[in-house]
Structure 1
């Protein structure tokens, strides 16, 4: 078996990944099974450099705050701000301390120096302004959307004034109350003000769509794209806060489902402007329904990858990553009867496989699903080989 698998293994680079696919996809997604791993993030950076330099990819989209990511994009495209500041403020989930993220931003800015605007690399976050314990106030995207429309359309068409929005939004602390994640009664998401804001967000988004011909004549494409980002984010955040305030058994499943829907909408919009390389957790990019235990409940929802795949078809490609050890988190060598264990005996530190050929080679073996001793790592399910376009295996992972 080891000899057969060795014959199927190829060194990991962008060309090897793209050779697995019938055509260059509009959205090339590479997943990771754990976060904050230097080894995996360095590989991510290497793949994007190759995709940019050799294969025409111009956008990288990461699992981080879509609004904060605008700061990073401005820096890499125009030099606005400083490297220290945009890394500090431009990454969500506390990932501003990761050396690989800083190096990615530095390299993108260097790549863009002296390039024409249409050929510059772009950075995007595709997650909502959300964390595990709380969600941001909808103030920033909602007021920015209103300001864009107020600057370009007849004021009589607007459903409200900026002051009305400000009064309804109130203090941001009412939206970011950390206790609301565990106690729905502490959430502001179903208050009369929140309900009114949901209606207004819908009306502003509708007006943005209705005025598309006029806006195309008076506003640059970049400004219009950003207005649509604000609209998606405002609607998504208000929907997320609505479910934060819900006390039904379906609450957590709806929250994670709303988050991935926001991710999917952002990825779909990014893919419209050219080939995109996106990188996130496997669970957000896979085509299967995602399952996770949270708060003692088993949750099931459709991931961003599943939603985008349904829209883009073969223009969406997903390459999953499996790994062997994470010694600093107590994840030792995988059991030999698991998929990771069968790949762990191969000599190369990182390899990529055609999943169809790998599944055929393992047909009589039926690898077991590995059980992780650490909550922060999700082993790869061998039953998913039929629905991925490639599988990267990394023997040993070191964290930040």
Structure 2
């Protein structure tokens, strides 16, 4: 079908994106179909700068450990540490090695050095302290929450002492052993100690909630937000470890859903203080159910963080899915013409943002096939998701970034 690209495609910039949305979002989600490509991250950085300078955004959240992210946030707001230290310790999943992520952190620090506290940029990790191979011990988040409450609440109200937590937590090794991911019997998540920790964590979070007026008068809102983050992380990790010990067929679905719920909780908390740009894999941000096949399991399905956020925020959540033409250095060549990516690749623009409704109209009666990726690290956009996607960002060619 011959299509005038001007009818469906716009330039990729913040003003165009915001003009195309029906309302101003509290969470603007930009998804990616593959990890580790700096070309995508540079586009994200460019869009974030424009959102900061023209649309009043002040927070960016990445698909990285929310506790490690505190190291990055401290650096960009106060200059704590060095850039090298921050890139090494402030990211999970190996994201600290990315030149584009380094450039983002450096720019945020420079911006904050030139602006008053009221205009400071903030960095956050949206993910729990989780890796593909396992999960962190709840020690850090649980003891940090207890320390905060111990400093500001009558000790008689605390459900336990710090020594009790330390005894129940034990050493971290059994919590973090990589064998647990494939062998539920190795998990300590359903031990007597872990079950008691879940109750104590719940009581500590409830105490924080019930003492909110007092602790807000005694500390800053940032400190209270941090305590709430520790509470969400502690309860989420203990729940995750509980399901890691589950031998039933529902185990992996429970783990995936628990992770998404942790992401959603973190993003809702960030959105409460102002508009947020979140950047993660498309599957974490889409409104449609996410699915995957894993090991010897049947196909798994669960609701993503984006689906949960959309349910909570309605039209104050906006999802921009990124689709790609080629990643030739990974063996992803020109897309077949009968796929959505193939249709978009035929447009003259190297990169553009598209309205899915106009795109669907341009497709007419054509039902694009789902592209099959020759590389496991790239997930093509599912055309069935068009009705629940606010905008499509398309990059025709992703070239390999030079390595240092």
TM-score, with normalisation over the residues of structure 2?
A: 0.98
Match of 1:344 in 2: 345
Quote the Cα distance in structure 2 between the aligned partners of 1:350 and 1:396. 9
CA contact (8 A) 1:2 1:345 kept: no
Match of 2:65 in 1: 65
**Shift in Å at residue 4 of structure 1?**
3.4
Instruction: Classify the secondary structure of the residue corresponding to 1:175.
Output: helix
Distance 1:81 1:159, change over 3 A: same
Match of 1:368 in 2: 369
Match of 2:395 in 1: 394
2:31 matches 1:51? no
Match of 2:100 in 1: 100
Number of equivalences: 400
Match of 2:80 in 1: 80
Match of 1:14 in 2: 14
Structure 1, 9-18 or 52-61: larger mean CA deviation:
9-18
Quote the Cα distance in structure 2 between the aligned partners of 1:169 and 1:264. 26
CA contact (8 A) 1:135 1:237 kept: yes
Quote the Cα distance in structure 1 between the aligned partners of 2:174 and 2:255. 18
Instruction: Classify the secondary structure of the residue corresponding to 1:196.
Output: helix
Instruction: Classify the secondary structure of the residue corresponding to 2:130.
Output: coil
**Shift in Å at residue 232 of structure 1?**
0.1
**Shift in Å at residue 290 of structure 1?**
0.6
CA contact (8 A) 1:233 1:262 kept: yes
CA contact (8 A) 2:5 2:348 kept: no
Match of 1:283 in 2: 283
Structure 1, 363-372 or 228-237: larger mean CA deviation:
363-372
Match of 2:309 in 1: 308
Quote the Cα distance in structure 1 between the aligned partners of 2:377 and 2:333. 14
Q: How does 1:160-239 map to 2 (within 5 A)?
A: 160-239=160-239
Quote the Cα distance in structure 1 between the aligned partners of 2:356 and 2:19. 13
Quote the Cα distance in structure 2 between the aligned partners of 1:300 and 1:155. 44
**Shift in Å at residue 9 of structure 1?**
1.3
Runs of 4+ in 1 over 6 A off after TM superposition: none
Quote the Cα distance in structure 1 between the aligned partners of 2:392 and 2:374. 22
CA contact (8 A) 1:60 1:122 kept: yes
**Shift in Å at residue 16 of structure 1?**
1.2
Instruction: Classify the secondary structure of the residue corresponding to 2:287.
Output: coil
Match of 1:124 in 2: 124
Structure 1 unaligned blocks of 5 or more: none
Match of 2:248 in 1: 248
**Shift in Å at residue 399 of structure 1?**
4.2
CA contact (8 A) 1:36 1:399 kept: no
**Shift in Å at residue 212 of structure 1?**
1.1
**Shift in Å at residue 7 of structure 1?**
3.1
Quote the Cα distance in structure 2 between the aligned partners of 1:282 and 1:391. 11
**Shift in Å at residue 363 of structure 1?**
2.8
Quote the Cα distance in structure 1 between the aligned partners of 2:2 and 2:61. 36
CA contact (8 A) 1:5 1:343 kept: no
What do residues 217-273 of structure 1 show as CA deviations (whole Å, max 9, x unaligned)?
Answer: 111101000000000000000000011111000000000000000000000000000
**Shift in Å at residue 278 of structure 1?**
0.6
Structure 1, 135-144 or 10-19: larger mean CA deviation:
10-19
Structure 2 unaligned blocks of 5 or more: none
Quote the Cα distance in structure 2 between the aligned partners of 1:116 and 1:8. 40
CA contact (8 A) 1:2 1:342 kept: no
CA contact (8 A) 1:5 1:358 kept: no
What do residues 124-169 of structure 1 show as CA deviations (whole Å, max 9, x unaligned)?
Answer: 0010000001100000000000000000000000000000000111
TM-score, with normalisation over the residues of structure 1?
A: 0.99
**Shift in Å at residue 6 of structure 1?**
5.0
Quote the Cα distance in structure 2 between the aligned partners of 1:252 and 1:128. 16
**Shift in Å at residue 215 of structure 1?**
1.2
**Shift in Å at residue 116 of structure 1?**
1.2
Quote the Cα distance in structure 1 between the aligned partners of 2:160 and 2:2. 67
Quote the Cα distance in structure 2 between the aligned partners of 1:302 and 1:5. 34
Instruction: Classify the secondary structure of the residue corresponding to 2:329.
Output: helix
Q: Kindly report the root-mean-square deviation, in angstroms, between the aligned alpha carbons of the 2 structures.
A: 0.9
Instruction: Classify the secondary structure of the residue corresponding to 1:160.
Output: coil
CA contact (8 A) 1:320 1:388 kept: yes
Instruction: Classify the secondary structure of the residue corresponding to 1:360.
Output: helix
Instruction: Classify the secondary structure of the residue corresponding to 2:21.
Output: coil
Instruction: Classify the secondary structure of the residue corresponding to 1:171.
Output: coil
Instruction: Classify the secondary structure of the residue corresponding to 1:320.
Output: strand
